[in-house]
Structure 1
Amino acid sequence: MGEPEAYARFEPLPADEAGELLRTHRIGRVAWHGINGLLVLPVAYAWHDGVIAFRTAPGGALARLTEATEIAFEVDDFDVETGTGWAVLVRGVAQGVSSPDEEAEWQARLPEPWAPGPRDLVIRVDPVITTGRVVVRA
């Protein structure tokens, strides 16, 4: 008989590894309950000192997050060929950055957004719970 097929299982990611994955990636998804129901939108973000931030346009859907709002934020990476990957989920509170010094610091750290047009409004996400898991083959 041949080799038994590998099976996949989920394993939790330690908090330091989840933070490292957030630090090394640039695109994530923000989910929140908007005025017309649940929304999930991709953003170009930065992770620094345990905080996530991203830019948006003042008139866009994400601009509503300037007011303190509970959100979920996810970053993941999967390899379809090997059936492996990982996901990090952050649950926290998003709100607009109001301090000019903090805004300037984030503007210097943030990657360029994918969406066209000015994206001058900085939203920060203060994590409450961060979890992650990795899919491994055994």
Structure 2
Amino acid sequence: MNSHTDPIIKLTFDECWELLSADIVGRLAVVVDSHPEIFPVNYILQRRSIVFRSAGGTKLWGAESERPAALEIDGYDPRTEEAWSVVARGDTELIEDQAEKDAVDALQLEPWQPGPKDYYIRLTPRALTGRRFRVNKPDVWNTRTTDRRRASFE
């Protein structure tokens, strides 16, 4: 089939959770002073929510204010030549209960960035959406060497 006519396939709720559980890094989007900010975060899933750690700053401010946020992950499978994307939108909250923090630590959530990340933040999705689609086949002669699609013929 021609990728221009291939449909975009909406992922089920469970497929979105499966992709989230198979990944560990996403992009967190929050609104600060009426404009969007995006931060990479490493995360774990706990009880159908997304948990990450943070130092003080914008992410913490958003969680303390129980602000809405979104987390997005995406990927590409060179075997199937399909790309996918999952977006979780919901509210953030600061985890203050030590037993909850211990439960998160037991799931091995370790910050990647050096420095103290003493604050545990939970994003509880109110909406979880995803899609999968076939990508255009790369042109072996014209596709950049850094393009992930090249893996299908290398």
TM (norm. structure 1) is 0.85
Going from structure 1 to structure 2, the CA distance change for 1:29 and 1:107 (only over 3 Å counts) comes to same
> In the aligned structure 2, how far is the partner of 1:55 from the partner of 1:26?
13
2:17 corresponding residue in structure 1: 19
Structure-2 residue corresponding to 1:85? 83
Aligned pair count reads 134
Find the counterpart in structure 2 of residue 34 from structure 1. Answer: 32
- The corresponding residue for 2:104 is 106
Structure 1: runs of 5+ lacking an equivalent? none
Deviations 1:19-74 (A, max 9, x none): 111111100111010136210101000012211000011x2321113321101111
Write 1 or 2 for the structure with the bigger share of strand: 1
Where in structure 1 do 4 or more consecutive aligned residues deviate above 4 Å? 79-83
Amino acid at match of 1:105: A
Residue among 29, 37, 62 paired with 2:59: 62
Q: Is the 8 A contact 1:75 1:89 kept in 2?
A: yes
In structure 2, the CA distance between the partners of 1:81 and 1:42, relative to structure 1 (3 Å rule), is same
TM-score by length of 2: 0.77
Are the equivalent residues in 1 in contact too, given 2:7–2:133 (CA < 8 A)? yes
